[in-house]
Amino acid sequence: MAPVRNARVVYKEVPKGFPIPGKTYDYDASQTIDLEKAPLNGGVLFKVLVVSVDPYMRRKMQEPGTDFYLGLYNVGEPLNGWAVSKVLRSENPAMKPGDIVYGLFPFQEYVISHPDPTMRVLENKEKLPLYKYVGICGMPGITAHHGWMEYAHPYLKKGDVVFVTAASGAVGSIIVQLAKAEGCKVIASAGSEEKVEFVRSLGADVVFNYKTVSTREVLKKEGPVNVYWDNVGGESLDAALEFAAQKAHFVICGMISSYNTEEPYNVKNLQQLVWREITFHGFLFLSLQEKYTEDFYKTFPPRVASGELKYKDDVVHGLENAGKALLDVLSGKNFGKCSVVVADE
């Protein structure tokens, strides 16, 4: 077999503010690979099928030496992220040709790698579309499930108030449904009227567009808040602090409002931590993997397949469109969990 194209998305420079496709990173179709003869050296040849586009990727685009738990992107190398790939050839007993594998992969059409702890061979008994496994059945769903079980579920009772920001997003939309399933009152914010309607369809009790309605006024009327699931930080966090219930729990999942600015918002109501005896839970889902992952894969795919858990997907086709897709995610232009279909099985 003649060598085939092995296109990739290459990181070019540290951005100031939002990344710019073609400048911060660029699609490169100049490389090739011989799928039959490329040496594996005890590893596995993967065909990348679907890649996940997520806000945290912006945090990996920082000056060398900056500390980030998933490491930084290196200039001249491909972006990487959560993905689903198919094993084409294997010299490792952990994986065989035909296996569908979830894990961290470069944004590249074909990859030779050794299996690592992030990788999992998927069963997909429910025959879900593979892009679901970088969405509700992948990292966003895992994040929501693990964080909810560890930091929200133990402290809630029926009728308690849960406030969720970025509630139409990949993680937030799941949290809305988990909270409603436990009989909680859910207050949710989103960034457009279309997104507000979607979150309302998930069962949230109070939904508002934070761009046109004051978060502070909504919480003043509908609170106090027992559990705050924070995906954005900034002014929403400040408002939640002001209208928190006594002994409230704040689950800090992300702060997308500060990812693309050099002047982060200064939170003003931190004194409420003392006066309201608030507990902050900052977490990384990787730290909870051993405790909750098997339960996640046992319960989430069937709930998705049955329609019990609803989810909005934003599926983009073609690796060449991954750069624009990331910018759309970071700027709030997309709607739903963004994934890029690189190839068919």
Q: In whole angstroms, what is the distance from residue 192 CA to residue 213 CA?
A: 11
Entry pTM: 0.91
* Cβ pair 159, 148 in contact under 8 A: no
Domain identity same for 121 and 36? yes
Three-state SS at 330: helix
88: Cβ–Cβ under 8 A, 6 or more apart, which residues? 35, 45, 46, 47, 97, 110
Domain identity same for 254 and 335? no
Domain identity same for 144 and 281? yes
Instruction: Show the DSSP H helices in the chain as ranges.
Output: 139-151, 172-181, 193-201, 215-222, 234-242, 272-275, 289-306, 322-331
Domain identity same for 49 and 90? yes
Nearest to 232 by CA among 253, 255, 265: 255
Domain-embedded: residue 108 = yes
pLDDT tens digits, one per residue of 270-321:
999 999 999 999 999 999 999 999 999 999 999 999 999 999 999 999 999 9
Q: How many separate domains does the chain show?
A: 2
Token look-up 């309201």 returns: 276
Three-state SS at 13: coil
Task: Please give the pLDDT value at position 260.
Answer: 58
Domain-embedded: residue 292 = no
**CATH code at position 15:** 3.90.180.10
Q: In whole angstroms, what is the distance from residue 265 CA to residue 43 CA?
A: 45
User: Is the predicted pLDDT of residue 148 greater than 60, yes or no?
Assistant: yes
Token look-up 């990859």 returns: 111
Q: What is the largest CA-CA distance in the chain?
A: 70
**CATH code at position 159:** 3.40.50.720
Domain identity same for 125 and 162? no
Domain-embedded: residue 305 = no
Domain identity same for 195 and 328? no
Q: Could you please report the per-residue DSSP string of 86-101?
A: EEEEESSTT--TT-EE
Question: Which residue would you say has higher pLDDT here, 183 or 67?
Answer: 183
Number of neighbours of residue 221 by Cβ within 10 angstroms: 10
Domain identity same for 156 and 271? yes
Domain-embedded: residue 11 = yes
Domain-embedded: residue 95 = yes
Q: Decide which of 247, 270, 286 is a domain's last residue.
A: 286
Domain of 61?
4-135+311-341
Domain identity same for 130 and 146? no
Domain-embedded: residue 213 = yes
Domain-embedded: residue 126 = yes
Domain identity same for 279 and 155? yes
303: Cβ–Cβ under 8 A, 6 or more apart, which residues? 309
Cα within 13 Å of Cα(345), Cβ side? 10
User: Is the predicted pLDDT of residue 258 greater than 80, yes or no?
Assistant: no
Domain identity same for 118 and 149? no
* Omega of the bond leading into 115 within 30 degrees of 0 (cis): no
Domain identity same for 164 and 253? yes
Angle at 221 between CA 218 and CA 224, to 5 degrees: 95
Q: Could you please report the per-residue DSSP string of 222-250?
A: H--EEEEEESS-HHHHHHHHHTEEEEEEE
pLDDT tens digits, one per residue of 74-107:
999 999 999 999 999 999 999 999 999 999 999 9
Domain identity same for 215 and 322? no
The sheet with strand 225-230 has its strands ordered as 206-209, 185-190, 161-164, 225-230, 244-252, 279-282
Question: Which residue would you say has higher pLDDT here, 219 or 257?
Answer: 219
pLDDT tens digits, one per residue of 26-52:
999 999 999 999 999 999 999 999 999
Query: Residue range 106-122: average pLDDT?
Result: 97
Three-state SS at 104: strand
Domain-embedded: residue 298 = no
